[in-house]
Chain A
Amino acid sequence: MEVVGELKTAREMGLVGCTRCSRVSPMGTQYCPRCGSALQSRDGLSLQKVWAWWLVGLMCYVPANLYPMLETRTLVSTESNTIVGGAVELAQHGNWGVALIILAASVLIPVAKFVLIAGLAIGVWRGPQVSGQRRHFLYEVVEYIGRWSMIDVFVVAILSALVQLQALASITPGRASLFFALSVIFTMLSAQSFDSRLIWDTQRRGDAPDHGLASDDVRKESSA
């Protein structure tokens, strides 16, 4: 926070950084002289991508919660539980810990991801309510934690592979597991699509709204 005044973005310095090899080239360079990848000071379509992936991820998250996640067939019965249903059942049986873990991994984290990504995108678009550093931290968290949502899918995959005792007992992944995996993948894609450099731009502009497409007004520095 205390470095706000001195901090200058590469764009402000008339430079463009390579997102691949981190080499900084002068603004206007089309391709990175070191790795040859296309250089772009700001991804103008970043927010579009974020929203698109985010939307698909959300769409997949709905059936992931409606359909059963796990189908357990034993000799006499067939049981299938949705994510929330399974957690509630576990809680009713007294396994509060497991229920909480499942709820955290399968409900809390994905929902938090959706909310955070949407918040970041809205922050870029409409202007931030929180400081840029916090937003950047949140972005890092989203990026980091996104892959851990797959823990549910892993559990299902491992159980399905282990418990295949023919007629005696078998566990098969339910329809929801596929949707849940897709949802996680799409939210990760959504998070990756987010061009975190946009945070800096809005940070510079203070409360000014920015739809992300226009990258002008760079010169309008907040001198404080």
Chain B
Amino acid sequence: MTSVDPTPPEAPVKEAGQNLFQRFTFVWIVPIIALLTVFGIAIQNYLERGPLVEISFENASGVKPGTTEVRFRDVVVGLVEDVGFTDGLGRVLVSARLDKDVAPYVDSSAQFWVVRPQVSTQGVSGLNTVLSGVYIEGVWDDQPEGMQPRFEGLPDAPLESLGEDGLRLTLRAAGKTTLTPNAPILYRGITVGRLGKTRISPDGVAAEAEALIFKPHDRLVSSATRFWDTSGFSFSLGPSGAVLDFSSVASLVSGGVTFETMVSGGTPVERGTSFVVHPDEGTARSSIFAADDGERVTLSAVFDENVSGLAVDAPVELNGLRIGEVTALSGLVDPDVFGDNRVRLVVTLSIRPSLLGLEGEDGADTALNFIRQRVSDGLRARLATASILTGGLKVELVDVPDAPPARLESGEADVLYIPTTESDIADVSATAQGVFERINALPVEEVMEQAITLMENANNLITSDDIRAVPENLNGLLGDARGIVNSDDIQALPERLNAVVTELQATVTRLNEQDTVTRLTAAVDSASEAAEGVSSAVAGIPDLVERLNAVAAKAETVEIDTLAAEFTDLLQTTESLLASDAARQLPEKLNGALAELGAVLEQLREGGVVENATSALASASEAADTVADAGRELPDLIAQARGVLARANATLEGYEASNGIGRDARAALIEVQKAAKAVASLARAIERNPNSLLTGR
């Protein structure tokens, strides 16, 4: 191999490194800028990094470090960095890095909980977390009060989870009401609130739930508001047919509570006020006038008597005021305490302090002290009749004046026994039976039979043709009478009467002229004397009364039975009289008599009755004259009256001597009987000859 041209021209070589720009390429700027950017971003990130909060949870299922977000109003404001345990592994400790902007707001008001998918009767919530994984939701108020580094996570979403503000209440379920967690609170069918978690109240007698009434509906709630349960349905069969009632299908399934302000004038309620949830609307409405169910005092009473009629819910009364109910009944056999093997009735009484007017926090204690005091003063429990008709019983607390000393004893298991006393049970059944027996013994049937026969007779009498003919005859009679009244003579009668009156006036004038006044004074004096005589006679009356008493005593011994028997005879006689054919024919004869009467009146009209009347008036005038004369003789008359009074006095005295009134009475009765018989014979006579009634023979 040969080299062709070993000496090529010299290559010009630039001197290296005259200055910085020639020695280094500008490309180095690029990595420097990149590095600066990286460092800048790193420093910025570090400086803008938010604070770390530690939240402890019961469990942290689904929480992953670096993935699980912390959200506020569904906006990511932080990221979980670490998941660990608290000291002692009691709880899970989640460390989360929060954004710097929101950190100051995460103060003591902040609450955190893990949002997980939930399927309940209210619906499905947190569905997005099924695939995206759980996240931690936080809620806090809008006041930046400095960040807190540690929090207790809530097991479930709190009521304010939706960021809804409102009025927080505590609802207590009374009776058989059930509270469903997270159930809606409806007002006229619109959801205005929500229930929170339910729990048992501290005293263990009711279920409680936090409730939130959203704004602005919280103004609907006042102290006069009553809540009731709308879940489930009610079926009633009444006079208006069958009624199936439920408020909505949703609340039928999921449960719900509604409320209404029953009366106006309620005061606004404060946050945390407790309300009772009633089982239905009716109860809620009636409760507005009854005291709220508050705490209760439970007492027991042991009754020696085992009386049926006492039932659960029977009232417990103090001085007639209902203060509670009977809540349980049971038997008790305790030979050690009572000394025998009888079963005793143990009644559990539930007393509401609010009905005693003892409300408030320590109402129960105050009521218990009150009852204790009253028991030592003689307050005792007893059974009493609540209803005469049903025989239902109630428990009464009554003051027994001379009760043996006793006090509120506490027996087993802190049961307080109130001492008892004898029951006050009216034996209604016995009394009623007596009444019925007496009613039974009445001779109702005999009376009825006699009444029936009487009615039959009366019926026969009334339906007879003669009686029917009576109105016609009466009509004729009235026509005749009208004829008489309309006659000219009768018309002239007033004028004549006038003349008589004039004469009478003259007579009176004459009387006035003849010094009547003096005589009258004398007459009054005499009357006064007579009155004195009477008053002395009156002095003897007490004696008379005593004697009359004695007479009455004797009269009691008289054989009334005999008398009664005779009366009975009399009645029978009368009856037979009425039943006789003669009595039935009586109307017919009466008819005849009326006809005759008509004839008589006819004769009277024809005869000068009016003239006779005129002469009679003239005689009256004369009589008036005689009266005038008699007026002059008045003193004599008064003297005679005195004599009569004296005699009456003597007669009264004479009564003292006579004590045979009983006998006389008997004689009188016999005479009455005779008279009755005479009436009978009279009736027979009338029957034979009715005309004799009119003719007087």
Contacts and interface: CB of A to CB of B under 8 A. Distances in A.
B16 A56 contact: no
Interface in A1-54: 5-6, 11-16, 26-28, 41, 44-45, 48-49, 52-53
Interface stretch (A85-93, A109-117, A158-166, A212-220): A212-220
Given A52-B30, A55-B31, A27 B10 contact: yes
Given A48-B28, A52-B27, A76 B130 contact: yes
Given A11-B11, A13-B8, A193 B31 contact: no
B13 A56 contact: no
Interface in B421-458: none
Nearest to A15: B8
B14 interface: yes
B12 A27 contact: yes
B11 A78 contact: no
B576 interface: no
A60 interface: yes
Given A27-B11, A77-B131, A215-B13, A48 B27 contact: yes
B130 A56 contact: no
A59 B42 CA distance: 14
Interface in B118-176: 128, 130-132
A200 B131 CA distance: 61
B244 interface: no
Nearest to B14: A44
A77 B11 contact: no
A24 to B, nearest CB: 13
B30 A78 contact: no
Given A28-B9, A45-B24, A59 B16 contact: no
B132 A78 contact: yes
Contacts of B130: 76
B31 A214 contact: no
Contacts of A48: 24-25, 27-28
B211 to A, nearest CB: 34
Contacts of B131: 76-77
Interface string A189-214: 00001000000000000000000011
Contacts of B34: 56, 59-60
Contacts of B10: 14, 27
A136 to B, nearest CB: 22
A192 B394 CA distance: 110
B667 interface: no
Contact of A49 (B11, B16, B25, B132): B25
A213 to B, nearest CB: 6
A52 B9 contact: no
B508 interface: no
Contacts of A76: 128, 130-132
A206 B354 CA distance: 112
By size class, the interface of chain B is: 20 to 34
B16 A44 contact: yes
Given A44-B16, A49-B25, A77-B131, A59 B11 contact: no
A14 B25 contact: no
Given A59-B34, A76-B132, A193 B11 contact: no
A214 B10 CA distance: 15
B64 to A, nearest CB: 14
Nearest to B35: A59
A26 B13 CA distance: 14
A10 to B, nearest CB: 9
A52 B25 CA distance: 9
B481 interface: no
B31 A56 contact: yes
A193 B132 contact: no
Contacts of B31: 52, 55-56, 59
B403 interface: no
A52 B28 contact: yes
A45 B9 contact: no
A76 to B, nearest CB: 4
Nearest to A214: B16
B627 interface: no
Contacts of A11: 11
B38 interface: yes
B9 A49 contact: no
A163 B18 CA distance: 56
B9 A14 contact: yes
Nearest to A63: B38
A77 B67 CA distance: 13
A6 B1 contact: yes
Contacts of B9: 14, 26-28
B75 to A, nearest CB: 15
Nearest to A76: B131
Nearest to B33: A56
A28 B11 contact: yes
Contacts of B14: 44
B612 to A, nearest CB: 133
Given A28-B9, A59-B38, A215-B11, 16 more contacts: A13-B5, A14-B10, A15-B8, A28-B12, A44-B16, A48-B24, A48-B27, A52-B30, A53-B27, A53-B30, A59-B35, A60-B34, A76-B130, A77-B131, A193-B27, A213-B16
Q: Shortest 5 CB-CB distances between A and B: which pairs? A: A14-B8, A14-B9, A45-B25, A52-B27, A76-B131
9 contacts: A14-B8, A26-B9, A27-B8, A45-B25, A48-B27, A49-B25, A55-B31, A215-B11, A216-B13
